[in-house]
Amino acid sequence: MQKIVPFLWFEDSKAEEAANFYTSIFRNSKIVNTVQYGEAGPGPEGSVMSVTFQLEGQDFYALNGNPQFKFTEAISLFVNCETQEEVDELWEKLSTGGMELGPGWVKDKFGLAWQIIPTILGEYLSDPDKEKSQRVMQAMMQMNKLDIEKLKQAYEGR
């Protein structure tokens, strides 16, 4: 069992819908467990209280809460992407019904923020050659969805 599990509070009975949505997007993902309210409540008996699911082997817990708490960009899920195809696919699926927030960031239709980041970006930004890393940063800041080829061109000074 994973020691630390992100706990996601969804409003308006969206936990099951969100878990199904996320597991349909990511490979190696599944619904692990669904718990319904009993007669003790506080939700209607038989309705979904929570869903435990996995994305790429990472456990998540989704709760059907009330509108008291909402997601903010103060916390996001960071997705390392190996290829431009993966960036493109995840960007399109996660931003549909949501919104683009800026370089590499989207908010999905449930209000959860995601960072869709090519793994090579970390290497480029941490390069000891500050000129290279700054060119990459400047290029990145001009993008919403990150483009690996444009980042590479900036890194190489082209």
The pTM is what?
0.93
Average pLDDT over residues 106-125: 97
113 has a pLDDT exceeding 90: yes
Mean pLDDT of the chain: 95
Q: Write out the two tokens for 131.
A: 């000129």
Q: Where are the alpha helices (DSSP H) in 57-129?
A: 84-95, 120-125
Question: Residue 129's CB: how many other CB atoms inside 10 A?
Answer: 9
Q: Which domains does the chain show, CATH number per domain? A: 1-67 (3.30.720.100), 71-158 (3.10.180.10)
